[in-house]
A and B are shown apart, each in its own frame.
Chain A
Amino acid sequence: MAESTESSRSASARPDGTSGPAARRTGLGQGPGRLLVLLYGVFTVAAASRSIYQLIAQYHEAPLAYILSAVSAAVYAFITVSLVRGGEGARRAAMVCCALELIGVLTIGTWTLADPSAFPDQTVWSDYGMGYLFIPIFLPVTGLLWLRRKD
């Protein structure tokens, strides 16, 4: 956030014409990537706090669901960090994680519908992320498109 102060007043004050994103090569976490960083950050916090609370307070009620929530939190956290760090290595790692995330949402989504008894409590990925406005299923697709574009 070091660059934030100098550009804080108004967009037109920038002499180098910030309106053209092509002027400077945009990183993974800039431009549309900034929006992805926010959404992945939100889901990291949501999944992590949910799973930590549930693992501590009510582990025995639905251990499978809570462990899967913790796994999804780790995936979200890794992608958030990769987007912020940028670079080719981070881009590839984030792509792998987005693919994992997509597979996870589809698998858990199908699993929760096929065998609800295995999941007495919800996870972030239950019913394809229905409890989270289906964002969990759109997010990895958007992430993969964004990361692919950077070749």
Chain B
Amino acid sequence: MIAALTVALGVTALLLAAWCGWAAYRDQPTKDWHFIGMAVVALLAIVQLVVGIVRLAGGDDPDQGLAIFVAYLIGSALAVPIAAFMSLAERTRWGSATVAAAAVVLAVLEVRLYDIWGGVGG
């Protein structure tokens, strides 16, 4: 469950990064459709946070430690929403670039989460 969600989040985060990166390249700010995309990715990250906490409460133990796992879960849930607010305040191509950067950060966090949980076990 964790593994599937992590892969799904990593892929959608990269898609979001490419989409917003394209908008930045074309000198466009983020539009309503981009925010819907961000909402989808943010929702997935929140689902992952909840599933992760439920799994921990159920007695599962991440390979590389509880504190690190929870920190990464919270970080990945916050990354896209924070960037979304920043792109609301920055109505230029740089707002799009900011979201693209945050989405790449999220993808990296997912790779690390995958390792921290213990590879394919989840």
Contacts and interface: CB of A to CB of B under 8 A. Distances in A.
Asked whether A and B interact, the reply is yes
B41 interface: no
A19 B29 CA distance: 9
Interface stretch (A1-9, A87-95, A97-105, A113-121): A1-9
Interface residues of A, number: 29
Nearest to A5: B88
A31 B92 contact: yes
Nearest to B87: A34
Given A4-B89, A11-B29, A30-B90, A38 B71 contact: no
Contacts of B71: 49, 53
Nearest to B104: A133
Q: Chain B: interface residue count, which band? A: 20 to 34
A55 to B, nearest CB: 13
A49 B90 CA distance: 28
Interface string A35-55: 101110110010001000100
Contacts of B101: 35, 38-39
B77 interface: no
Interface string A14-35: 1000110100000000111111
B89 A35 contact: no
B83 A18 contact: no
Contacts of B98: 34-35, 38
Nearest to A38: B98
Contacts of A7: 88-89, 91
A14 B91 contact: yes
B95 interface: yes
B67 A53 contact: yes
B117 interface: no
Contacts of B102: 38, 42
B92 A3 contact: no
A3 B87 CA distance: 11
B68 to A, nearest CB: 7
A42 B75 CA distance: 9
Nearest to A46: B75
5 contacts: A21-B92, A34-B86, A38-B98, A42-B102, A133-B108
